[in-house]
Amino acid sequence: MSDYLFAYGTLQPGFAPDEVAAIAAKLRPVSQGFVYGELYELDGYPGVAPDPQSKNRIRGTVLELPEDAGLLSRLDEYEGYDPEHPETSEFVRVRQVVELSGGGTQECWIYRYNRESGT
């Protein structure tokens, strides 16, 4: 069974900086989609706080994750997510239902901006 990631920033195809480009190249684009929530412009990159009550659509790309046990750990490191200390992480990786542009939905991992982290 495949696992998916919803990317709304630098992990989208064509946007990955050198430090994560090799990892991002392993992610296979499946569909365009969106979540409802708030989009924050941080220090040169975006952060999303999903909120189903919001009227704001945050667009991004649904990416299929390869069968690579260490890939999510490397993405976590890039995104500033420490599973051992989520309360101090800039982003937290959570499951989120994403609405697909062509209709339907897909459950995906998403890096949610952790506004409580003090960043």
* CA-based nearest residue to 72, from 1, 10, 4, 19: 4
H or E stretch including 73? Answer: helix 71-79
Query: Tens digits of per-residue pLDDT, 93-117?
Result: 999 999 999 999 999 999 999 975 4
Q: 87 pLDDT exceeds 80?
A: yes
> Sorting pLDDT into bands at 50, 70 and 90, what band is 118?
very low
Listed by start position, the domains of the chain span: 3-69
Per-residue exposure over 29-58, b if at least 16 CB sit within 10 Å of its own CB, e if not: ebbebbbebebeeeeeeebbebeeeeeeeb
How much is the CA Rg of the chain, to the nearest whole Å?
A: 13
pTM check: above 0.95: no
CATH number among 3.30.390.30, 3.10.490.10, 1.10.3720.10, 3.40.50.920, domain 3-69: 3.10.490.10
